[in-house]
Amino acid sequence: MQSAKNKRLSKAKNAGKTRKWVVFTRTALGVCLTAGVVGVPKAARAQYAGHVSSYVVDVNSGAVLSQVDPDLQRYPASLTKLMTLYMTFRALKAGEITPDTTVPVSIHAATQAPSKLGLVPGTRFVVQQAILGLVTKSANDAACALGELLGGGDEVRFANMMTQQARALGMSNTTFRNASGLPDPDQVTTARDLSMLAQHLVQDFPEYYHYFSTPMFAFHGRMIPNHNPMLKTYAGADGMKTGYTDLAGHNLITSAQRSNVRLVGVVLGARSNPQRNAMMASILDQGFASEGVAPMAPLHPPTVLARNVRRRGHASGGSSAVFEVAEAPSGPRRYQPLAHGTKHHVVAGANVRMATSRHVVSTRKKSRHQKG
């Protein structure tokens, strides 16, 4: 009897110790996470779409002209493709590939969610078509195929290369997980970091920057318009990228030049495309005004695009229904295989030597993770 009583007392005592240990462990883990000791990624706040982060910088001087929550962690959506393009331009400049290098289309690439070109597994297209597919339609299948080419057949390896390059450029709060920007909870960035990337695209690759102002391009007999509305409406705008997912909100990076002043603006997490576009125009106007550049009236889209109505059931270049998203609700489009006469070129071990942030005036970052 006494033995049974002792066992019960011992069991209760051990249970009490276990509860104390659990409480201690949870408390210690909470302190470590707060202090940043444990290497667990902080949860991205981009799910609060509607809380906007913005940033405007003078590319030539590096002067920051305006900023709102520039270090708040966000989801990049299709702005991810700017790093895919940076890696592509770097490989072009290094002679590792050419605009005519063939890009194989894997099953993995072909089955990416829209927006897409509708690439068919086993076919091939060329690097220049891939570039144009990214800057105009924001094609996820083209981005994945390009990433696989540069990553030696592995998009995951390419994403790691993208992150390495981001660190080399000073983008310390950015991590990439794919080449397209399709949703991944670990793929995060900030407005400040994306501004650095945009500046490097302008400064490091002036010979390729013209791609961003392409109004449209022909692919398999179909004209594909550029989704960037700022090219048609904002005086001086000559490039960059749009992006959208439900969790990221409506994102936009715009580069514009007036007189001898070039600005890069970033807007992340807007509630709608009209709000995003209006905010971008406003912060760029303020930026140019602070640099002493006279204001200019908004542009108007060319009427020729407005008359180019639907063709083969697809929205025209002037249609407001055109999506500039990582996940547009449209089905894949299929084409016949391309000619196989050109020798296939594989970049099997892409050079991982990274460019540096030598051209960008860097600023010290102080992370702020505020509630949206």
The DSSP line for 242-277 is EEEETTTEEEEEEEEEETTEEEEEEEEEESSHHHHH
pLDDT value of position 279:
98
pLDDT value of position 191:
98
Q: From the candidates 53, 106, 115, 138, which is the catalytic residue?
A: 138
Active site residue 138: yes
Tokens of 312: 């083969």
pLDDT value of position 346:
40
Q: From the candidates 53, 54, 81, 106, which is the catalytic residue?
A: 81
Look-up: residue for tokens 């302190």? Answer: 31
Q: Which helix (H) or strand (E) holds 26?
A: helix 2-35
Per-residue pLDDT of the chain (372 residues; tens, 9 = 90+): 455 555 555 555 555 544 444 334 343 333 333 333 333 344 444 456 789 999 999 999 999 999 999 999 999 999 999 999 999 999 999 999 999 999 999 999 999 999 999 999 999 999 999 999 999 999 999 999 999 999 999 999 999 999 999 999 999 999 999 999 999 999 999 999 999 999 999 999 999 999 999 999 999 999 999 999 999 999 999 999 999 999 999 999 999 999 999 999 999 999 999 999 999 999 999 999 999 999 999 997 654 443 333 333 333 333 333 333 443 333 333 333 333 334 434 444 344 344 444 444 443 333 333 333
Q: pTM score, two decimals?
A: 0.73
Q: From the candidates 53, 54, 78, 106, which is the catalytic residue?
A: 78
Closest CA to 215 of 330, 333, 299: 299
Instruction: Please say whether the beta carbons of 108 and 158 come within 8 A.
Output: no
Closest CA to 162 of 151, 153, 152: 151
Tokens of 209: 């920057």
